Amino acid sequence: MELDFERCYRAVDSRDQRFDGWFFTAVKSTGIYCRPSCPAMTPKRENVTFFPSGAAAQRAGFRACKRCRPDAVPGSPEWDVRADLVGRAMRLIGDGVVDRDGVPGLASRLGYTERHLNRLLTAELGAGPLALARAQRAQTARILIETTDLGLAEIAFAAGFGSVRQFNDTIQEVYAQSPSGLRERRPSVRAEAGVINLRLAYRSPLHIPALLDFLEMRALPGVEERDGEAYGRGLLLPHGSATVVLKPTARWVSATLRLEDVRDLAPAVARCRRLMDLDADPDAVDATLGEDPALAAMVAAEPGVRVPRAVDGFEMAVRAIVGQQVSVAGARTTLGRLVRAAGSSGLQSSSGVAASGSAASSSASETAGLVPFPSAAVVADLPDKAFGMPAARRETIRALASLVADGKIDLEPGADREETVARLREVPGIGAWTAGYVAMRAIGDPDVFLPTDLAVRRGAAAVGLPSTPAALETHAERWRPWRSYALIRLWRAS
């Protein structure tokens, strides 16, 4: 990844928060690395070098700044939106795939050899998959050290380290402190047992009402709910279930997590960030959309509108299928019935994986009263009466569930977008609208447009745009590569 020295240095000198996550500043005279917006004195030019990732800075021997916490910055928006191998790999590493399946598992998911994957990541990010995963483990460990009362040995294995010695050495190297030293510095206010509180940073602006309104309108009873300025939901994670309450504020999103298994902290954080689109670059999006006179007033009045995504790709696909020809309220009713049927069937326990290293004394779902959406394997085995919908739609969902459960369709953020859309279109009952909706919300494609959607056409008419599908699609070309964001704004306008 090419980093222009002058441009990076100007960003550091102005402490521009918009570049947090795009690159990292390493200072040779102090041996530390910072985010561009670090409030410390601007270092001299001759002492500065720039890295495309925190892992690359760590690999070069630099330690994380204790003042600006560069390990906790938002992810790079480039990796968030890119559909190539590197972008897909970064999303999977963030979801904890390397910790669970190793580099061979990551390479297998992406369809490349380990050697080729390592070469590409090192060229783009200055570090291979092991180093990138190591940097994430260090941040996960720090969160657990500072927010829980778990023993340090428990934290070592929960964060994904192979041994306590490796854990101790990594924390000392990255933070210039031992794990026990970090624990001594933790905040004095402690959360209740089994609860992890953390802050999810994002790039301003964030239009909070648009985000919460969208999620509330589509909230499934028993799975998710809005309470004032807070949004809570159940999560299905690799090692168990969880619940999270997210409360957006002016500078970060406060997250309160209850996990059945603390090994799921990193994937839980990654999925919450995806859900609220916290790694987006709103300035870049709004600059492009604001150039269109039809959208300019809307963008100026409501800067930072995000694309609410998904914590579970399969869940989002089922939502899309159910919502094809019914109202949002009708879809919620039908989906709520399916969730209840999965729970009463005895198939939906949590993830079906026994919890170990649990931070909670009881089920995370039971603690907060919310349950995760059932997995693909559970839905595939439900009886006909559980669906409560026309037979054709029921069979579409069942066919999709079987394909996802068997690994034949990948609906997670690391999926190949074009391949996934093509495979979805092969499922009887899934058309262009449904496949596009899934690509936007489940896989994170920033450039989806649905010109045949009635609400989109109403929104277009409301702002003076052509409302016929062909004319609207032609006009939308000027919004590339952010048509998904324009879509959300037109839905809001309708």
Average confidence (pLDDT) over 394-402: 97
- Pick from 160, 180, 165: which is nearest to 357 by CA? 160
Q: Are strands 32-34 and 24-27 parallel, antiparallel or unpaired?
A: antiparallel
| Tens-digit pLDDT profile for residues 334-344 | 999 999 999 87
For the beta sheet containing 230-237, the strands, ordered from the edge strand earlier in sequence to the opposite edge, are 195-201, 252-259, 240-248, 230-237, 224-227
- CA-to-CA separations, 157 to 140, 261, 265, in angstroms, rounded: 11, 11, 12
pLDDT for position 352: 38
pLDDT for position 343: 86
**112: pLDDT strictly greater than 70:** yes
**192: pLDDT strictly greater than 80:** no
- Band the pLDDT of 365: cuts 50, 70, 90: very low
- CA-to-CA separations, 471 to 230, 434, 452, in angstroms, rounded: 39, 21, 11
- Band the pLDDT of 363: cuts 50, 70, 90: very low
- Band the pLDDT of 325: cuts 50, 70, 90: confident
Sign of the torsion formed by the C-alpha atoms of 334, 336, 338 and 341: negative
- Band the pLDDT of 72: cuts 50, 70, 90: confident
Token pair of 94, please?
């963030």
Average confidence (pLDDT) over 183-194: 67
Residue 325 DSSP label: S
**349: pLDDT strictly greater than 80:** no
pLDDT for position 190: 57
Domains observed in the chain? 5-69 (3.40.10.10), 77-147+150-184 (1.10.10.60), 194-445 (1.10.340.30), 454-493 (no CATH)
Q: What percent of the chain has pLDDT over 70?
A: 93
Q: Which of 361-375, 424-438, 453-467 has the lowest mean pLDDT?
A: 361-375
pLDDT for position 359: 38
**11: pLDDT strictly greater than 60:** yes
- Pick from 81, 94, 140: which is nearest to 265 by CA? 140
Residue 150 DSSP label: -
Average confidence (pLDDT) over 43-55: 95
pLDDT for position 1: 54
**483: pLDDT strictly greater than 50:** yes
Average confidence (pLDDT) over 183-203: 78
- Band the pLDDT of 353: cuts 50, 70, 90: very low
Is residue 34 part of the annotated active site? The answer reads yes
| Tens-digit pLDDT profile for residues 128-164 | 999 999 999 999 999 999 888 889 999 999 999 999 9
CA–CA separation, 77 vs 233, rounded Å? Answer: 25
Residue type at position 434: T
Q: Please, where are the H alpha helices in 148-291?
A: 152-158, 164-175, 179-184, 208-217, 265-275, 282-290
Residues 6+ apart with CB under 8 A from 91: 79, 80, 270, 413, 414, 444
Q: Which of 150-164, 182-196, 414-428 has the lowest mean pLDDT?
A: 182-196
The residue written with tokens 């005279």 in the block is 29
pLDDT for position 482: 97
- Contact between 25 and 12 under an 8 Å Cβ cutoff? The reply is yes
The residue written with tokens 């509180």 in the block is 197
Question: Which span out of 10-19, 240-249, 365-374 was modeled with the highest average pLDDT?
Answer: 240-249
Is residue 65 part of the annotated active site? The answer reads no
pLDDT for position 158: 92
- Band the pLDDT of 188: cuts 50, 70, 90: low
| Tens-digit pLDDT profile for residues 279-324 | 999 999 999 999 999 999 999 999 999 999 999 999 999 999 998 8
State the catalytic residue, choosing from 34, 38, 65, 68.
34
Coil/strand/helix, residue 239:
coil
Residue 42 DSSP label: P
- Contact between 159 and 196 under an 8 Å Cβ cutoff? The reply is no
Residues 6+ apart with CB under 8 A from 259: 194, 196, 237, 240, 242, 265, 268, 358, 359, 360, 364
Helix, strand, coil shares, percent, the chain, to 5: 50, 10, 40
Sign of the torsion formed by the C-alpha atoms of 189, 192, 193 and 199: negative
- Contact between 52 and 28 under an 8 Å Cβ cutoff? The reply is no
pLDDT for position 185: 74
Token pair of 34, please?
């910072």
The 10 Å Cβ neighbour count of residue 301 is 8
- Band the pLDDT of 364: cuts 50, 70, 90: very low
**12: pLDDT strictly greater than 80:** yes
pLDDT for position 146: 87
**346: pLDDT strictly greater than 70:** no
**251: pLDDT strictly greater than 80:** yes
Average confidence (pLDDT) over 226-246: 96
CA–CA separation, 201 vs 197, rounded Å? Answer: 13
